Structure 1
């Protein structure tokens, strides 16, 4: 058996005690993962016959077949077959878990960072430490850490959605405004923008987007989940979160933001006609903005997130990101891990993934990603700005201490429902986070997961 301590893993020395604790609090089912997965080994594949090892890869990312084809063209010993799945817990994730239980899983699968704990609770992931630990330095620390539990590696990070401000620079300029660098400036800009036109707002309050609200709380310094011994600590109603909620409540009360679901038909029209003039969103949103409002090309820019204190650089993500995992029961874990590493670290592959909109690269060496260096179409839409510089800084500023809990799909659903109800009933947004705190504690305890009081 090969066992690895946290100290043996590169780039993890910042929080060894946290990494050692995290696996134990996921539940009794995970105890088997450490013991059994550490003994896992490839069955040798088809090397004796000289034929390539055949593995299957499940993903929902459009056009990711281009990266798979590039791998197959450059490797004689492994051949990957892509199987397209539906994203999310009710689509591809359910199919993955059913296949693991039936003993016939795909080898490699795409999985959101937020769902890795759920799959560990289900004992559905192979421990790939033996094959990947030496590659940790290739990746941005916080993204790598999302797949590390008790010093064991269960995923290879692919990409994230670091937050930034997309804004109509032409409208801001016409009103004498720069993009807000603090939340106080954001509030003042919101007042100027609202006064400039009876239909115009600085932004929408996206009550339909739990990942957006979670990102705002994370950027405000919140840490909703942590571990204490063998228990989870839940702090969705912490001081930092309520600070963020109360800020947006002020904007709502003063009619400075529009209450509308983002990416809805109404929101699309407002972006097109300049009635909504900014959007705090992930790096991937560049394609949505340009696709939604092509006639506004050249009028947009991107800035960093507003800060709660002048001079800070705190950032966050839209729902974390996604990774490649090796599903429990794969007959070829070694080859599966090799493909997962290549897919997410090879410069050619990462450039393809970035160009097709898979998200912000997890690798550290962004200079090697060709599609980030010269992107004429994107840069032209944003007035000649290299917007990727903003997101490179944003991704690097994401705190590595944020932890996703088990039952993340429950968290997203409860938060969305509670905030939507608060908006409809005109009750405080802060109360929705308090309600979500109670809901999440009950959900975890209902699954037999210990919660610290």
Structure 2
């Protein structure tokens, strides 16, 4: 297996897997159908995604999908999936982040589903489709992206005479006002546990951590764009303007509920988490764009971990049916509407005009004071820098960045040093795997 690049440039020499067309049921020894539906197992961590699975089962007599809830990828789910592939007892379809598809390919854990999916490429936005294409072969069907936005307590901002900050300078100024208003109140948390969040902030600043030069990777986590992000958050940490706590922890949940943490910069899917965490605050929230580094310029956005896709895991006995389910799940208007509503992210399909929940979703819109938050994320998704490249060994990147940033916060050292240490860790990890790294 040779690695040359990623996200359209990564070349992986794999054994291609072929599959027959979907049938009316599992084939018997004489080649005829048994009349029973093909049974598939689908692994996902998205809350309430069972609603979309149920809709698929209701619409199909020949395939039945059983949902298996797993831990989100960065917290161990991916390792479990890959181990199951190696043991020969993996699920058929699984949810995998765009950033981690290359890792699964390096582990030889994916089926080549080109024959069953390539004709549907135009159904999806080009950049999201390409996250699953390597060396002109298809290994994943895109589900949704996580364009960044800022969820904030609009009622408390208004009480303090603040509007949603449009620039990072305004964010810093607002943080001072918030901090002065109450000894327990902060504008945001510094989530030392979330490498995807830190990565998204760097991407939004214009960083390019991984690029390809010829047949080698260029690794740069100490560039000017990353440094200004690290320096801003370091300044706010030093001045006690942000609360140092893991997001989605019990402490963070309580702070979101009681208004001690007033904003969360996160992916579009975070809407469901905010609503589920603090239902009693309905009507008090708003959504705005991520603060910009340049005032008055074109909107620049980024993603939280890229997004998520549906992959067919190696070893499935029904690759064609698994691919059929992956396509339906992520392109059928009814399914996509459900996925959007339950917090799967911004749809990967190119035409969102038929997605009912994007046009009118009373539960969502009422929580945000009547705001159609999807208008914000539609603009954010269109403003994502699609030149960002995900490298092999993203799991190593995330583990290293989390460890180094956590250590910096604990020891009181500078965040820029944590990014420099992560750069060194990634260079070593790539070289250890025999992947060329530019000097």
Asked if structure 1 preserves the Cα contact closer than 8 Å seen for 2:268 and 2:343, the reply is no
Q: Which residue of 1 aligns with 2:9?
A: 21
Deviation at 1:89, TM superposition (A): 6.0
Q: Which residue of 2 aligns with 1:123?
A: 108
Which among 377, 399, 416 is matched to residue 391 of structure 1?
377
Moved more, 122-131 or 68-77: 68-77
Stretches of structure 1 lacking an aligned partner (at least 5 in a row): 1-16, 24-29
Cα distance in 2 for residues equivalent to 1:60 and 1:274: 27
Cα distance in 2 for residues equivalent to 1:225 and 1:350: 31
Deviation at 1:422, TM superposition (A): 1.1
Deviation at 1:44, TM superposition (A): 6.7
Cα distance in 1 for residues equivalent to 2:327 and 2:255: 41
CA 1:262–1:20: 2 relative to 1, 3 Å: closer
Alignment of 1:37-436 (within 5 A): 37=16, 40-42=18-20, 46=26, 48-49=32-33, 51=35, 52-88=37-73, 91-310=76-295, 311-436=297-422
Which digits, 9 at most, give the CA deviation of each residue in 1:285-332, with x for residues without a partner?
223323333333222111011111122211112222211111223333
CA 1:175–1:91: 2 relative to 1, 3 Å: closer
Asked if structure 2 preserves the Cα contact closer than 8 Å seen for 1:158 and 1:322, the reply is yes
Query: TM-score, normalised to structure 2's length?
Result: 0.90
Deviation at 1:113, TM superposition (A): 1.5
1:367 aligned counterpart, secondary structure: coil
Query: TM-score, normalised to structure 1's length?
Result: 0.88
Asked if structure 1 preserves the Cα contact closer than 8 Å seen for 2:365 and 2:371, the reply is yes
Q: Which residue of 1 aligns with 2:432?
A: 446
Moved more, 119-128 or 228-237: 228-237
CA 1:55–1:203: 2 relative to 1, 3 Å: closer
CA 1:256–1:127: 2 relative to 1, 3 Å: same
Deviation at 1:70, TM superposition (A): 1.9
Cα distance in 2 for residues equivalent to 1:106 and 1:294: 34
C-alpha RMSD of matched pairs (Å): 2.2
Cα distance in 2 for residues equivalent to 1:94 and 1:434: 27
1:21 aligned counterpart, secondary structure: coil
Moved more, 242-251 or 231-240: 231-240
Asked if structure 2 preserves the Cα contact closer than 8 Å seen for 1:42 and 1:331, the reply is no
2:96 aligned counterpart, secondary structure: strand
**How many residue pairs were aligned?**
427
The 4+ residue runs of structure 1 with deviation greater than 4 A are 17-20
Which digits, 9 at most, give the CA deviation of each residue in 1:34-79, with x for residues without a partner?
xx31x62328754632634443323233333332222222223333
Deviation at 1:346, TM superposition (A): 0.2
1:161 aligned counterpart, secondary structure: strand
Cα distance in 1 for residues equivalent to 2:165 and 2:171: 5
CA 1:42–1:401: 2 relative to 1, 3 Å: same
Asked if structure 2 preserves the Cα contact closer than 8 Å seen for 1:200 and 1:276, the reply is yes
CA 1:353–1:200: 2 relative to 1, 3 Å: same
Asked if structure 2 preserves the Cα contact closer than 8 Å seen for 1:162 and 1:283, the reply is yes
Which digits, 9 at most, give the CA deviation of each residue in 1:75-110, with x for residues without a partner?
233333333333326744334323433445433221
CA 1:263–1:153: 2 relative to 1, 3 Å: same
Q: Which residue of 2 aligns with 1:6?
A: none
Which digits, 9 at most, give the CA deviation of each residue in 1:369-391, with x for residues without a partner?
22222221222221111112111
Asked if structure 2 preserves the Cα contact closer than 8 Å seen for 1:157 and 1:322, the reply is yes
Cα distance in 2 for residues equivalent to 1:349 and 1:283: 17
Asked if structure 2 preserves the Cα contact closer than 8 Å seen for 1:146 and 1:403, the reply is no
Asked if structure 2 preserves the Cα contact closer than 8 Å seen for 1:107 and 1:332, the reply is yes
Asked if structure 2 preserves the Cα contact closer than 8 Å seen for 1:167 and 1:302, the reply is yes
CA 1:392–1:102: 2 relative to 1, 3 Å: same
Asked if structure 2 preserves the Cα contact closer than 8 Å seen for 1:142 and 1:399, the reply is no
Asked if structure 2 preserves the Cα contact closer than 8 Å seen for 1:109 and 1:324, the reply is yes
Cα distance in 1 for residues equivalent to 2:136 and 2:153: 45
